[in-house]
């Protein structure tokens, strides 16, 4: 509905102005949050260990990642990231939608990581048995969920409205 699209646009614009993140980064965080039930304020912090990425792949296609390293050791985290990227390839993701480990681990290209996460969300919809959240404009968070998020902090909503009125 138009209200949901307008609220989503308002939310994304407000979030971008406050965080400096791109629309794709915000939408990717929304999808990650929908998949895990855990807050995602920053793709780098959420995904750097690779645990969340591997866990999501296993939710999309159970057993695709055989081992997820949960220790806070760089080589284990990078192994998780490699396993995630290999898993994306095995699901049929195109090379143009992938990235290299340093893009995430060394924070070299977070926008490409966000793009990949959104593409994974789209690809997931084609996997038999997957029933998780959809991604895309206005779909990562439904209008009702978005209204709940906005209602949770009325001060931010009011400030966003004032900024829109000043335009």
pLDDT for position 154 = 57
pLDDT for position 166 = 76
In contact, 19 and 36? CB cutoff 8 Å:
no
pLDDT for position 155 = 59
Distances (CA, A) of 132 to 115, 157, 161: 18, 28, 32
Q: How far is CA 140 from the centre of its chain?
A: 9
> Which parts of the chain have pLDDT scores under 50?
1-6, 9, 12-17, 137-153
Closest residue by Cα to residue 149 from 160, 137, 133, 136: 160
In contact, 74 and 52? CB cutoff 8 Å:
no
- Claim: this prediction has a pTM higher than 0.85: no
């Amino acid at each position: 509905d138009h209200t949901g699209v307008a609220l989503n646009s308002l939310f994304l614009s407000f979030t971008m102005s406050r965080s400096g993140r791109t629309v794709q980064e915000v939408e990717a965080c929304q999808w990650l949050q929908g998949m895990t039930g855990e807050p995602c304020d920053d793709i780098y912090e959420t995904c750097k260990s690779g645990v969340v990425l591997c866990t999501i792949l296993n939710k999309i296609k159970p057993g695709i990642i055989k081992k997820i390293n949960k220790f806070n050791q760089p080589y284990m985290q990078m192994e998780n990231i490699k396993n995630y990227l290999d898993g994306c390839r095995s699901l049929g993701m195109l090379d143009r939608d992938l990235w290299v480990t340093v893009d995430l681990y060394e924070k070299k290209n977070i926008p490409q990581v966000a793009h990949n996460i959104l593409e994974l969300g789209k690809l997931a919809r084609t996997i038999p048995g997957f029933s998780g959240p959809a991604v895309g404009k206005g779909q990562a968070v439904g209008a009702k969920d978005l209204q709940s998020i906005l209602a949770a902090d009325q001060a931010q909503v009011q400030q966003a409205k004032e900024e829109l009125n000043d335009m």
